[in-house]
């Protein structure tokens, strides 16, 4: 194999090998996984009628993490650099791009951000484009000797009757294309993807398939939940979700029997006369509808058994009648609940996030249930935040900043907002824990705490914590009152809004005095 084709074919093979797992993760997230039935007859019946009763709980394991991954700010101590960060943010609409990047990173386990500088004719960088790419089409190949070292990155896509590939290196980008309608599986299918003819000379540069640059870095940045490649957040939910799909579909199959029980009649063989009975009480499949679109079972004359005052039910030739009881719903619902709990345990997701009733535990019980989940969120913030920093440092260097400092801050994975939580903060402070440390352990950022503590002594802080605990206690009790119907939710909101406004006003007066 020619040396220039080795990386190309290796990258294509890596993409092909990884693609099924990413497709599977996508299917489970979107709820497109078919039920597994031992009976081929049942499989055919469900497929023929396009029946879908799926309860997609696996998606919750992904969304629960994504909802906690909110970037608070990306900043720099240098004002000029801050202005450039703001430009990158606005130029690339990162307020929408980053949440989608986080979601895909959690859904697939991997996601990629490509950052490409765009220059004018004089070589001046006008902007840097930062955009998400799916791991189904992009992959970074790492060194076997040093797994943290990127050897190159590959991006593959279909363009009409051609297949295109770009290989990214620290000093160049190689562009490849297949011959028309070629599959791209063989080396002979690929050739250099040359740029168009020169506007002045009309000639094609035979070396234009290579774009040289001096970036010194591969412009592809890898967001991942593990190393070297990630694992979907809902990977552990695949098995329980399969069980739930099967149980739910089977349960829905029994609903017909609960609404329309299957009946039976025991006959005396010598005396049975069924000449007056219509064939098939409930099945009109063999009887085409009349001009009014009605079948035999729509006529009201299907059976001699008529219920009503003064009606006589005549049973000729039958010695006993009855019906078969359908399976009880608990036979299916109880195992579904078990599998949901198993899914929560395996994916380290709080059980209450899967609760269809919408009931959320309150107080310290939530913090206890969320402990493992919060640690997972912190790990994701650490991993994704490091990659955010790398991408912004690279982009700022292309804009002319030699050694930029970038700070990525997240909205806390967990903050104290209950009476028990604020009472705990107060107890820590009263027992000697530094004020800043106690508030940071409550989930608030260091710069927030510094701003709050400026000019505030221990006594004042203790008083403020007490007020917050009282407000949290009142909110909890008013919420319970609203649930009981004693007050309306609008009244509760008005009361709390008024109380908070009074507290803010009082704080402002005290600050002036």
| 40-51: pLDDT as tens digits | 666 665 555 555
99 Cβ contact list (under 8 Å, min separation 6): 66, 69, 70
* pLDDT for 251: 74
**Beta-sheet strands, E only, within 404-508:** 407-410
Among 355, 347, 354, 351, CA closest to 376: 347
155 pLDDT tier (thresholds 50, 70, 90) = very high
* pLDDT for 274: 53
Mean pLDDT of the chain: 81
Report for 54-58, 225-229, 330-334, 456-460: range of highest mean pLDDT: 225-229
Yes or no: say if 350 and 372 are a contact pair by the CB < 8 Å rule. no
CA distances from 49 to 42, 44, 52, 56, 281 (A): 11, 9, 9, 20, 22
* pLDDT for 363: 53
Is pLDDT of 160 > 90? yes
Is pLDDT of 67 > 60? yes
Q: Mean of the pLDDT values across residues 91-116?
A: 96
Worst-scoring range by mean pLDDT, 30-44, 209-223, 387-401? 30-44
More confident residue, 350 or 424: 350
The span from the CA of 146 to the CA of 337, in Å, is 45
Worst-scoring range by mean pLDDT, 251-265, 299-313, 471-485? 299-313
Q: Mean of the pLDDT values across residues 373-395?
A: 95
Environment class of 143 (CB within 10 Å of its CB; exposed 0-12, middle 13-18, buried 19+): exposed
Report for 60-64, 251-255, 263-267, 335-339: range of highest mean pLDDT: 60-64
Give me 15's structure tokens. Answer: 């993409």
* CA angle (184 as vertex; 182, 189 as ends), nearest 5: 65
* pLDDT for 496: 72
Is pLDDT of 308 > 80? no
Environment class of 415 (CB within 10 Å of its CB; exposed 0-12, middle 13-18, buried 19+): exposed
Q: Mean of the pLDDT values across residues 354-373?
A: 66
6 Cβ contact list (under 8 Å, min separation 6): none
φ and ψ of 107, to 5 deg: -70, -45
Question: Which runs of consecutive H residues, i.e. helices, occur in 149-230?
Answer: none
Question: Which runs of consecutive H residues, i.e. helices, occur in 305-434?
Answer: 330-346, 364-398, 419-430
All structural domains of the chain with their residue ranges: 1-261+324-412, 415-513
Yes or no: say if 254 and 327 are a contact pair by the CB < 8 Å rule. yes
Exposure string over 445-483, b if 16+ CB within 10 A, otherwise e: beeebeeeeeeeeeeebbebbeebbebbeebeebeeebe
Question: Greatest CA separation found in the chain?
Answer: 106
The span from the CA of 10 to the CA of 360, in Å, is 50
The span from the CA of 153 to the CA of 271, in Å, is 83
* pLDDT for 36: 65
> What global pTM score does this model have?
0.73
Percentage of the chain lying above the pLDDT 70 cut: 73
The span from the CA of 404 to the CA of 241, in Å, is 46
* pLDDT for 297: 47
More confident residue, 482 or 69: 69
Question: Which runs of consecutive H residues, i.e. helices, occur in 127-199?
Answer: none
Q: Mean of the pLDDT values across residues 441-462?
A: 66
Is pLDDT of 104 > 90? yes
324 pLDDT tier (thresholds 50, 70, 90) = confident
340 Cβ contact list (under 8 Å, min separation 6): 57, 240, 244, 351, 354
* pLDDT for 22: 98
* pLDDT for 282: 47
* pLDDT for 196: 86
Q: Mean of the pLDDT values across residues 481-502?
A: 75
Is pLDDT of 119 > 80? yes
* pLDDT for 307: 58
CB 222: neighbour CB atoms within 10 A?
Answer: 25
Give me 215's structure tokens. Answer: 């970036």
24 pLDDT tier (thresholds 50, 70, 90) = very high
């Amino acid at each position: 194999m020619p040396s220039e084709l080795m990386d190309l074919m290796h990258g294509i093979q890596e993409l092909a090998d990884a693609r099924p797992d990413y497709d599977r993760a996508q299917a489970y997230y979107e709820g497109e996984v078919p039920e597994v039935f031992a009976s081929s007859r049942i499989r055919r019946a469900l497929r023929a009628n396009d029946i879908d009763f799926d309860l997609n709980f696996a998606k919750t394991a992904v969304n629960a993490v994504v909802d906690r991954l909110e970037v608070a700010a990306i900043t720099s101590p240098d004002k000029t650099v801050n202005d450039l960060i703001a430009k990158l943010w606005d130029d690339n609409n990162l307020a929408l791009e980053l949440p989608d990047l986080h979601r895909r990173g959690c859904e697939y386990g991997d996601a990629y951000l490509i950052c490409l500088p765009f220059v004018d004719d004089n070589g001046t960088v006008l902007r840097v484009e930062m955009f998400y790419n799916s791991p189904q089409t992009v992959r970074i190949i790492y060194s076997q000797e040093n797994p943290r070292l990127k050897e190159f990155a590959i991006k593959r896509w279909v363009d009409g009757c051609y297949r295109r590939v770009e290989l990214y290196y620290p000093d160049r980008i190689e562009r490849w294309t297949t011959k028309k309608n070629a599959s791209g599986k063989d080396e002979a299918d690929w050739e250099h993807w040359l740029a168009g003819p020169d506007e002045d000379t009309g000639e094609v540069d035979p070396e234009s398939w290579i774009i040289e640059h001096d970036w010194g870095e591969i412009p592809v940045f890898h967001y991942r939940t593990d190393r070297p490649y990630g694992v979907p957040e809902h990977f552990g939910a695949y098995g329980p979700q399969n069980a739930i799909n099967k149980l739910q579909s089977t349960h829905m199959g029994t609903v017909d029997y609960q609404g329309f029980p299957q009946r039976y009649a025991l006959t005396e063989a010598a005396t049975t006369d069924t000449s007056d009975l219509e064939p098939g009480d409930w099945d009109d499949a063999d009887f085409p509808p009349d001009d009014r679109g009605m079948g035999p079972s729509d006529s009201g004359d299907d059976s001699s058994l008529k219920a009503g005052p003064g009606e006589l039910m005549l049973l000729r030739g039958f010695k006993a009648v009855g019906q078969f009881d359908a399976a009880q719903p608990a036979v299916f619902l109880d195992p579904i609940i078990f599998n949901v709990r198993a899914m929560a345990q395996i994916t380290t997701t709080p059980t209450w996030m899967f609760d269809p009733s919408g009931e959320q535990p309150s107080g310290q019980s939530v913090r206890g249930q969320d402990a493992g989940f919060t640690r997972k969120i912190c790990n994701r913030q650490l991993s994704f935040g490091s990659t955010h920093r790398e991408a912004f440092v690279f982009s700022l260097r292309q804009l002319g900043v030699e050694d930029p400092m970038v700070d990525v801050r997240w909205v806390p994975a967990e903050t104290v907002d209950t009476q028990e939580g604020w009472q705990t903060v107060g107890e820590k402070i009263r027992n000697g824990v530094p004020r800043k440390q106690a508030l940071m352990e409550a989930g608030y950022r260091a710069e927030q705490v510094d701003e709050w503590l400026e000019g505030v002594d221990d006594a004042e802080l203790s008083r403020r914590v007490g007020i917050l605990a009282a407000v949290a206690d009142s909110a909890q009790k008013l919420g319970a009152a609203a649930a009981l119907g004693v007050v309306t939710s609008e009244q509760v909101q008005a009361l709390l809004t008024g109380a908070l406004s009074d507290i803010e006003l009082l704080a402002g007066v005290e600050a002036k005095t």
